[in-house]
Structure 1
Amino acid sequence: MTLKNTADRWGSVSQLLHWLIVLLILGLGVIGLVMVELPKSPRYFWVYDLHKSFGITVLALMVLRLVWRLFAGAPKAVSGTPHWQHRIATVTHGLLYALTFAVPLSGWLYDSVSGLRPMRWFGLFKMPKIASPSQELQPLVRDWHEWLFWILIALVAVHAAAALYHHLFQRDDTLSRMLPGRRRASSPVPEIR
């Protein structure tokens, strides 16, 4: 397997970034849903700080992923894919990229307008505020963050369902070319007797 993407397959760097970001987003979603129910205690603040640090990590990984994609390109559409499916996939990928930037940015903005103590990335260094504290904007930005997350999750579900549809029903390489070390045979291997 190559590091760089090829015409028919995602390279190992793209695969690593894809699956790492997927896992982080799912983890952040679970933490985000659970942390609002926690009692105000030292653990509460520790979980919030962890959520924020992983959110900034997703943002940094998305910047890296976008730069890598510009450098490494993207595979061509799977042979035989109808034009309308290719267009829908292109729009969906664009929205996934946009939302995966928007969710952590809205969380960072929420942290900034909340006027809370400085956000520290995994306790290592202080992150700058990107807006001034504002009691008026705080609930609005919190709602944006939540709604953007739910839209992202819905789009991820549609994206995953489409990949599974291609894999299970179309029996093409749409999903397998994003899986590490996996390659589907283009045509069935003849049985030796």
Structure 2
Amino acid sequence: MRKPRDNGYGIGEICLHWLMAGLVLGLVVLGFAMRRRGIDPALQFSLYQWHKSFGLIALALAGLRVFLWLAAGRVAPAPGLGVVERRASTATHLLLGFLCLVVPLAGWAVASTTTLNIPTFLFNLVVIPPLPMARSAGAEAFWSWVHATTAYTLLALAALHSAAALFHHFVRRDGVLMRMLGRRTIDPVDTPANEGSKR
């Protein structure tokens, strides 16, 4: 594994991060909307197709993110963090990246194993072939469970990740959040101790 780099996030990484965040949130909303009771069948079909289309986009972006990690290395945790915080930050980022791959892959597996045999249309432009998996009610149920469980885990972890970033920004005031908003350097917090050290 390559040594983490400490030169901050590039504009591409920042855009990819927020695009993935928006996609995850949007897919969760779509997931709830398309499973409402009493929904119009035609609308439900469209929502399912939109969910699958954006899910495939999320999968492609997650793959791109992993490629960038392997090519350029991960950005090192922000300075000023303790050993436990650094390990927790690294573990959280790795788990988020892993789940961003697993969730859409499991969704693709659901579409590939369902006995309904409904094709997946990528934004009504092309048909996405199913994965080479046998179709059965048991397989569909299993992959549906995997998809839902990992999606909820991803959502919970993303919420924890967001809460930690806000805690660092508003309570610790150490600039962790600002790194993902394009600021490469982190200034020391102007605390009484720091003020005294400047004299």
Q: Please indicate, yes or no, whether the TM-score normalized by the shorter chain is above 0.5.
A: yes
Deviation at 1:184, TM superposition (A): 5.4
- The residue that corresponds to 2:16 in the other structure is 17
Q: Percent identity?
A: 35
> After alignment, is 101-110 or 31-40 more displaced?
31-40
Give the aligned residue type for 1:143.
W
Q: How far apart are the structure 2 equivalents of 1:186 and 1:99?
A: 34
Within 2, Cα distance between the matches of 1:54 and 1:15? 20
Match of 2:166 among 157, 164, 167: 164
Other-structure match for 1:75: 75
The residue identity in structure 2 corresponding to 1:86 is R
Q: Which structure 2 residue ranges, 5 or more long, are not aligned?
A: none
Amino acid at match of 1:154: A
160 and 8 in structure 1: CA distance in 2 versus 1, 3 angstrom threshold: same
1:178 corresponds to which residue?
A: 180
- CA pair 40-142 structure 1, distance change in 2 beyond 3 A: farther
- Aligned Cα root-mean-square deviation (Å): 2.0
Larger mean CA deviation between 119-128 and 8-17 belongs to 119-128
Secondary structure class of the residue paired with 1:86: helix
Secondary structure of the residue that 1:175 maps to in structure 2? helix
Residue 6 of structure 1, CA deviation = 6.5
Question: How many correspondences in the alignment?
Answer: 185
Q: Which sits farther off after the overlay, 173-182 or 95-104?
A: 173-182
- Alpha-carbon deviations, 1:74-122, whole Å to 9, x = none? 3322222101110011111111111111110110000111032211211
The question of whether the paired residues in 2 share the 8 Å contact of 1:8 and 1:177 is answered with no
1:30 and 1:151 mapped to 2: Cα distance? 15
Relative to the length of structure 2, the TM-score reads: 0.85
Under a length normalisation based on structure 1, what TM-score does the superposition of the two structures give? 0.88
Cα distance in 1 for residues equivalent to 2:76 and 2:47: 41
Comparing 43-52 with 129-138, greater Cα deviation is found at 129-138
Question: How far off its partner does 1:137 sit?
Answer: 1.6
Match of residue 110 from structure 1? 110
